[in-house]
Structure 1
Amino acid sequence: MTNKMNTAADRDRRQRNGQVRGRDLYWGFTLGILSNLATIFMLHSSVGTMGWAMTAMIVGTFIFVMINSFDCMDDLKANADDMDEEEAATNFGNKFLNAPWGMFKGVVTLIFGALLRISY
């Protein structure tokens, strides 16, 4: 028995899982960006009077977005690893298997690091 999900029902299930986790990644990242924009506005308008509160907000949002985004990316990567050879040979399958998941995780981390850096 192989570890691959080869039947039509398995491919359909993988597609639905990818759709749901992709949506979760999109909305988690969107909430993080909106929160960052609100934080930048508050930093600009408060002129340093709320330093610790802003730091707590940035770190709390980072933890939420990090857990959400990294979990979604890991699920999407596992979804890609479950493709059979025929599906992996398609253009989409090849691109999905070769997606730079580590780079995406690094960008999420850098965004929040930059926000912490400009707050001090």
Structure 2
Amino acid sequence: MNTPQDRANRIMAWGTRGRDLLWIMTMVLVSHILILSLIGAGYEASFIPLSIFLVFFTVLGIMGSLDAMDDIAAVAEDADEEERKTVGHKRFINTAWMPFKILIALGFGLTAIAELWVMWS
């Protein structure tokens, strides 16, 4: 696992999962904006399907984001000894991932709960 091609593969995998994480977060953000717009417009007939969509998309967003973070960390673990000596790798290893995971789960989850509260209160 220490050929130049292996390193290029790790960089590609890291970049791909990083992009996936940003897309997941963007899609969840856009869905929340759409749902808030529909709530604000007063489309009460759509509240049941919106609630189902909201719960599904929130759970999917949280799980997808956490999985992407774990995949990025797994790719970093595959680094060879030479790569582990780089400043970038040391910085990555020293990053505290749990606060980011908690922030994503709480942010997406509490936003969904607030939207459900507004719809059904």
Return the TM-score normalized by structure 2: 0.80
Aligned residue type for 1:16: M
Unpaired runs of 5+ residues, structure 1, are none
Separation in structure 2 between the aligned mates of residue 39 and residue 110 of structure 1, nearest angstrom: 18
Aligned residue type for 1:87: E
Residue 24 of structure 1, CA deviation: 1.2
Match for residue 104 of structure 1? 100
Match for residue 19 of structure 1? 15
Counting aligned pairs with the same residue, the percent is: 31
Question: Alpha carbon RMSD of aligned pairs, Å?
Answer: 2.0
Match for residue 28 of structure 2? 32
Aligned residue type for 1:76: I
Return the TM-score normalized by structure 1: 0.81
Indicate the structure with greater helix content.
2
Q: How many residue pairs end up in the alignment?
A: 116
Which one of the candidate residues 72, 85, 89 is aligned to 1:89?
A: 85
Deviates more, 1:48-57 or 1:37-46: 48-57
